[in-house]
Structure formats: structure tokens, C-alpha cells
Amino acid sequence: MSHLGKRWPRGYTSEHMSDRRATVIHVDLDAFFVSMELLRRPELRGKPVVVAGGLGSRGVVNTCSYEARAFGVRSAMPVGRARQLCPQAAFLESDYHYYSGASKAFHAILRDYTPLVEPAGADEAYLDVAGSELLFGDAPAIAATIRQRVRDEIGITASAGVSVNKLVSKVASDAGKPDGLVAVAAGEEAAFFAPRPIRELPMVGPKTAAALAGLGIRTIGDLAAAPVPALESRFGRQGRELHERALGVYDAPVLSGHGPNKSISRETTFEADEPSRDVLRAVLRGQAERVASDLASQERAGRTVTLKLRFPPFETLSRSHSPGQPVALADDVFAEAVALFERAWAENGCRPVRLIGLGVTNLQERGRQLRLGEGIESDRLAEAMAAVRERFGDDAVRRAAEIPARRHDSF
């Protein structure tokens, strides 16, 4: 099904839509891998099903049916633990090739309604439909149409949330699961958030939730009512961000996923859980160098730096920050990443780390404004290092700060 053969202009973002209306949609395929498996194994409908990346002792649950979740099985859980919780479940190994066709069809459906589609994974995406309402109706109507097309054309269900921004729409779509649609009118963000448990607010993990509980904060409304100075005293700069998000305030625009890659990242998994701050910082330094080299080779810069940490056994968290101007050089990427790391690591008791990752997202064409007194030598150095690595490999040239990381492999 195609709509008017539209050719959308490139380079649009939701910043072009300045009026405050509920035009941002988050669409999420329900238990995507499981739903796809049930299409070819209908006899498993209504039963606990677990789809994992490997079924051996080192396998990890990718997703599971709602019947399995009732037994405590969750994504990112070791397969062995899932078997203990729900031994009667059907355990299936992920078939990514099979899922990819449905994922492509899903994203193609979304692009029929707006050029502003920002993929957030194989099974979810954000849309801003402010420029499409005259063609297709308001955002809730578009979301309903998309969900029906997913059901008719792919054979699975999707949940959707509608609001004025990505944050609230994400929480709304989660609230509607499975197979639901939740719309939050402009101005109702804080009221919608208020009664919800604090863990439903993105960026609040178990450690942050425990710290907030120590302050008597158990709902998002409690957080919204808390004094900002008290939150900043406990959480630093993150305290103000937590307060703003509890009110539903979030200004990151929906960015079109067309064109070049929208993110560049590197991850390192340690053979043994790594307890050393020096080693972890050195790994981040190396990742920053390689991300910067990739940015240079693509002539891109990024608006947001993201940190990923995984603690044993499989507890994963991410933190991100968007500085005042796009970052492109390794020093700038590393400075942002290490600041995120120090805060997140301290919040989690400086525990040993199983995996550390660094990414730069929301990419755009490279065009850096020099700071006062700065020359172009750093840019020339970055370009030279990128050229050497492209020709001879990532390990051809390293900074001294990376030396402690030499015994680890990056993937």
C-alpha cells in the first residue's frame, strides 16, 4: 500500500515543527521475535516462549512472550536463569534473517506517513507527523492506521504512544502494551506521568530508583514535586534532568533515518569483569579515537554522545548527553564519554564492568566552529590518524592513554 507516491525532502527534523501539538508517535512491535516465531509455529500461541541469542550456558534472552514474563523471564536474562524460572517454556534460537524482512516492511509502512522516521531498533521507531495531518488525519488516527497495516501486512501486533515528544510517547506506548494505543494530549504530560512507578521513566535504572526511594520518591509524580536543589545535591547535573523528564519535558527532535548512518559506536566485552577505573577509561579513550576516525572518514559530526555499561550478570544501562555543539574530534568525544562514565559508574558502586560501549548519534554534516584561540591542528591530526587507520587498521596508531587497554579486544 503506497500513499500518493510521495518523495519527502531530505534533511528535515521535527525542529521544523514548532507548534506544540501531540504529533510525535512511538510505534513498537509487540514481543517482535516471539510474534514472528508464532507466525510459523502457531501451535505455541498462548504458551510461554523464549527467543534467545544462543541456547547454551552463555545464551541471553532476546525477548519472550507475555506468558513467559508472568514467570519472571525478562530480556537480557541468561538462558540458564530463564530455564530455572520457566522450564516448561519453548526455547527458540533467534533467526535474524527471518525477522529482517518484517523489520524492513515495518519501517517502510512508517515512511508512507512522514519523512521524519527515526528508527530506534529493528522493531520500534519514532515519527513526527506534524506535516502529514492534512493528508492522513491527526496523530492518533495515523497511529491507528499504522497499527492496522502492521496487523494486515505483517501479521503481528504493534503498540503506539502519541504525545508532544519522544519521551512521553515512549512511555505511552509501553503503557499500551500489548496491542494498544495511548495518546497524551499537549499539556497533559505531567498528569499522565504522575501516578506511574518511577522505574517507568526512561534513564531510571535499579540503582537510581533505589536512591530515589531513599528520598521518599516512588512515583514519577513524586519526582516532579521534589525540589531541584535536593536532586542536584544527590545526583549532580542528572538531578535537574530527572526533574525535567518527570514533568514530561524533553526537546530532542525526531530525526529522519534516511541517508547516511545516524550513529557510530564501538563496544568492548571483557574476558573477565574489569574492576579498574584506569583500564575502563583507557578503553573509552580507544573507542573515542576509533569513533572519531569513523566520523572523519564520513565527514560527519554527532549531536549526542552515549555511554553503555553492562554489569554482571547482564544488567545493562545507558547514559547520553547532547553538548551545545556537535562533536567530531576524539578529545571532545572522550571528554563527554568519560564524564558520563564517571557519574554512571559511581552511581552503581564502581562495580566491575563486563562491557563498555561508546557511541555518537544524531549525526549531521561536519562543520565545526573553532573555539576562541583554537587552530586547525587538531583537525589535521584527526584526519591523519583516520587515514592511517583506514589503510593499516585500527591498531596501526594509538595514543599513550590507550596503552592499558591493549589486552582487550573491541568488537
Distance CA 186, CA 196 (A): 18
Q: Is there a contact between 132 and 254 (Cβ–Cβ < 8 Å)?
A: no
Crossing angle (nearest 10°) for helices 206-214 and 330-347 = 50
Residue 259's CB: how many other CB atoms inside 10 A?
A: 9
The residues, any chain, with a CB within 8 Å of residue 354's CB and separated by 6 or more, are 269, 270, 273, 274, 310, 311, 312, 313, 314
- The b-or-e profile of 345-361 (16+ CB within 10 A means b, else e) is bebbeeeebbbbbbbbb
Distance CA 354, CA 356 (A): 7
Q: Is there a contact between 283 and 240 (Cβ–Cβ < 8 Å)?
A: no
Torsion angles phi and psi, residue 219, rounded to 5: -120, 165
Output the DSSP codes for 107-160: HHHHHTT-S-EEEEETTEEEEE-TTTHHHH-SHHHHHHHHHHHIIIIISS-EEE
* 289 annotated active-site: no
Decide: helix, strand or coil at residue 355. Answer: strand
Distance CA 261, CA 300 (A): 10
Decide: helix, strand or coil at residue 334. Answer: helix
Q: Is there a contact between 136 and 92 (Cβ–Cβ < 8 Å)?
A: no
**Annotated active-site residue in 124, 336, 347, 402:** 124
Torsion of CA 127, 132, 136, 139, to 10 degrees: 40
Question: What Cα–Cα distance (Å) separates residue 165 from each residue in 71, 188, 252, 377, 384?
Answer: 33, 12, 8, 40, 40
Bridge partner residues of 341 (DSSP)? none
Distance CA 153, CA 350 (A): 48
Cis peptide before 313 (omega within 30 of 0): yes
Q: Which residues are catalytic?
A: 124
